[in-house]
Amino acid sequence: MTDRSKSGLQGLEVVRAPGQQQAVVANLLELYAHDFSEFLDIKPGEDGRFGYKNPELYWSDAERHPLLVRLDGVWAGVILVKKGSQVSEDPDVWDMAEFFVLRGFRRSGIGTRIAMDVWRKFPGRWEVRVIGRNEAAVQFWRQAVSLFAGDSASASQFEKDGGRWHLFSFKSPRLVDASAPDA
């Protein structure tokens, strides 16, 4: 793997995963589940895989979006975005269902850049949920949301399944096309 501090983030791509890349998404989600097993009681099945419940919905439901991340042509992460709040059950809120950056790419600014790119691609109200026991993720999301939304973002906490979670809520503005004529 190349030294990310030298290569910069010019080669960063966040793209929708086409159906033929479902295996890539599934493989990256396995690594994500492995990392997350430190914070939640999830274990691999008999086949040695963690699995992901109903991943095919991300290719069949128009309100779900599977995204892949590449940096300099190398897979660097996976993001699953869906419409509908897991907390308030508001159907119009964008939900960062899953957000995973491979360990070798972390602490380079890539995560913040990816998150901001995703928020710009999907304007509207957003919620990002983070399990409280994952202190590094709480700090990351607090900083990324603050950089993106400033004082308009709100942070709260809630209990779910016996755990404390942090919820970051904010709005991503619809971008105006500067080349479009005035209405």
Question: What is the pTM assigned to this prediction?
Answer: 0.84
| Rounded-to-integer distance, Cα 146 and Cα 116, Å | 11
Which CATH number among 3.40.630.30, 1.20.910.10, 2.30.30.20, 3.30.360.10 corresponds to the domain 11-172?
Answer: 3.40.630.30
**Least-confidence region, from 40-44, 83-87, 168-172:** 40-44
Give tens-digit pLDDT for 56-80.
Answer: 899 999 999 999 999 989 999 999 9
In terms of phi and psi (left: phi > 0; alpha: psi -120 to 50; beta: otherwise), the region of 134 is beta
- pLDDT band, very low/low/confident/very high, at 8 (cuts 50, 70, 90): low
CA-CA-CA-CA dihedral for 111, 75, 167, 95, to nearest 10? 130
Instruction: Delimit the domains of the chain by residue range.
Output: 11-172
